[in-house]
Amino acid sequence: MPGTFEPNKKQIGIRDVKFGENVTVVEPVNLYGCEIGQHTFIGPFVEIQKSVTIGEHCKVQSHTFICELVTIGSHCFIGHGVMFINDLFAKGGPAGGDKNLWKETKIGNNVSIGSNATILPVEICDNVVIGAGAVVTKNISKPGKYAGNPAKLIAAL
């Protein structure tokens, strides 16, 4: 029942991050235990969790969530509100603390991901455009433009 209780407050901010040269971060953000390549831009309200690596000359727009086990190449654009997922609910529900059930995501170079896309644990090759709102459920091994739910090739590059 609601009352006048004090919540347990936790703040992360920016902690234990390895930054390349000339990185721009617009606060507020939660960045911890990750690596951000040189000349990369991180917008506000972004969370990048530990063990994430982002390459050089990337742009990560506001309200994006990049969970553990994600690697993003260089010259990538991540639109507003993009969600990366590392838990496929392999046992019918959230893995919780069982990180053995989490899966990796690898994004190549020169990849653009449109706003509000959802990226499940997959590998995406170089030179790919993911349309806004797309849901990527399978590996993408051919350069091109992909859109839809599930995302499908709509045009070769």
Q: Is position 72 within any domain?
A: yes
Sheet with 77-78, side-by-side order of all strands: 24-25, 41-42, 59-60, 77-78, 111-113, 128-130, 144-147, 152-156
CATH code at position 42: 2.160.10.10
- pTM to 2 decimal places: 0.94
Domain containing 80: what range? 14-88+99-156
Whether residue 22 is contained in a domain is answered as yes
Give 55-68 pLDDT, tens digit per residue. Answer: 999 999 999 999 99
> What pairs with residue 113 in β-bridges?
78, 130
SS3 state at 105: strand
The model's pLDDT over 109-132, given as tens digits with 9 standing for 90+, comes to 999 999 999 999 999 999 999 999
Q: How many domains does the chain have?
A: 1
